[in-house]
Chain A
Amino acid sequence: MHLTQHEEDLLESDNDAVRKAMELLVKLGDIYGAEEMIEIESAQASGISYKSIGDPGVEFLEGFAEEGAETSVPTFANPAGMDFERWEELGIDEAFADKQQRIRDALKEMGIVLSFTCTPYLAGNLPRRGQHVAWAESSAVSFVNSVVGAKTNREGGPSALAAAITGRTPKYGLHLEDNRQPTYRIDVEADIESQADFAALGSWTGRLVEDGKPYFTGVDSGGTDDLKALGAAMAATGAVALHFLEGVTTEMEPPENVETVTFGEGELTEEYAELTTADDPELVVIGCPHCSPEEIQDVAATVEGKSLTSDLWVCTSASVKTWADRNGLTETIEAAGGKVLADTCNVVSPIEELGYESSATDSAKAATYLPGFCNQDVAFNDKETLLAEVTE
């Protein structure tokens, strides 16, 4: 791989962390056939929850920070295993909290923005179209490639961190325009109306196309939250990093000579059933990926003046939560018995240790991960239906 003089210097750096980060990127570049490095404008680090990375992760991050690791581009942190202000109230174990705080301290020492969110694009890091970035959380990767039009591979935790420190990543995969073409065509004949419909379409498609790049026809609208749900689902049941929604995210013509499949009403109905294994959830969670202001508004409007018969978590970033606090939405939701939580979500927090055995969600991503990661039975539906079932 060709390296610039500056990159050669990074590879010979006296700073152990910089040298190791550059070595890692060069090795990955060699493995994947990159001819050069490309400068990135921002990074997003995954592997932040203690539940996910465990003791090896804590020791790695602390060791890396001690060796002098420091970010050179804006770098946002993925969700943690707990709300840093409310963990005791939630019943999180003190030993878990201690390890999670050590992770936070190491990230802070490296200069990472303590955003603790999977939707950095809603919390202060919105790249421009065409920019190269190194993002690691799978749903954020999908959103930034497909909706924003920036370019990133699906980075792993350590490689995104190495990119954050050196400010570059090997130029391969989705950084190359030739690799950003559709590989499947999905003709959608079902009516896709709610955000949960988008999520169900996504989970069905991800299972079908695996790491392919689907081009959807027949869906002519879609807001930020809908697209967030679609991409997150495809990245959970498959490894989709880039998709195209005709008339919404792209002006491209539908691809020819690719496999074409139809998604009809039958598939939509079956997908809801596929994602549902419980009918009496103990915990309703809205916010996978993390809620936008509009979603919190929707929840607040639905539960206003009512009383919840199950627990409710509304998960979001600290920045969006500040907005919800100021606008009285947090108060409305908490008066009904729900909680608006920052920094975390039901997938990466230890909810199975908090006594919950069944969860409801409007996220196909959460519905995919909750059974395995959190031992939960799951009810999947749109948020209005889920909330209507647990309010009186």
Chain B
Amino acid sequence: MTAESTNGTADGAIDAEPITEGIGRGEVLRSPVPISFYGAVEPDTGEFIEDGHPLEGENIAGKVLVFPRGKGSTVGSYVLYGLANNGCGPAAIVNEETETIVATGAILGEIPCLDSPEVALETLEDDETVEVDADAGEIRRQ
């Protein structure tokens, strides 16, 4: 690991652990709290509908969805897969820790997914455009 990448900003690249494969690019949409996809997101539109959640009213389609970890029903895997299949899934996912529900949904939906980034999730800011390269294990600021 180079000094630049440890710093996480000098060359725009942040190292992280690959969970799935592929490359996704989009604006960051960050949730400070865990997400249960089941019952929280409209599978046909990507609209976030959970009452009182910080992301309520946002649309996750095409966004780089950044959140600490998944929670709740294992049916969340099917919802994430359905979102991807309907063309309204996130462009990529970045977690602190990707647990089995999100990992399974991301694998089935072929969504690039990384966890354990070397910087805190808070350093990724809403509306900032990033490229998530799950093949290289890097998040690149654009």
Q: Which of A20, A31, A47 contacts B19 (CB 8 A)?
A: A31
- Assembly CA distance A45 to B98 (angstroms): 22
Within 8 A of A (CB), among B33-91: 43, 73-75, 77-79, 81-83, 85-86
**A24 → B minimal CB distance (Å):** 5
Q: List chain B residues, Cβ under 8 A from A218.
A: none
**Count of CB-CB pairs between chains A and B under 8 Å:** 68
A23, B107: Cβ atoms closer than 8 Å = yes
B130 interface residue (CB < 8 Å to A): no
- CB-based nearest B residue for A23: B107
A56 CB contacts on chain B under 8 angstroms = 43, 78-79, 81-83, 85-86
Please give the distance in Å from B60's CB to the nearest CB on chain A.
14
Tell me if B7 is interfacial: C-beta within 8 Å of chain A: no
Secondary structure of the A contact surface, majority rule: helix
Interface size band for B: 20 to 34
Contact of B107 with A157 in the complex, beta carbons under 8 Å: no
Q: How many residues of A contact B (CB 8 A)?
A: 22
| Complex-state Cα separation, A158 to B75, whole angstroms | 9
**A27 B107 Cβ-Cβ under 8 A:** yes
Q: Could you tell me the distance between the alpha carbons of A181 and B86 in the complex, rounded to whole angstroms?
A: 44
Contact B20 A31 (CB under 8 A): no
Of chain B, the residue at the smallest CB distance from A136 is B74
CB contacts (< 8 Å) of B43 on chain A: these are: 54-56
| 15 sampled A-B residue pairs with Cβ under 8 A | A23-B107, A24-B107, A28-B104, A32-B100, A54-B43, A55-B43, A56-B79, A57-B75, A59-B82, A136-B74, A156-B104, A157-B78, A158-B104, A158-B108, A159-B104
Q: Which 8 A-B residue pairings sit nearest by Cβ, starting from the closest?
A: A56-B82, A156-B74, A57-B78, A56-B78, A158-B104, A53-B78, A158-B77, A56-B43
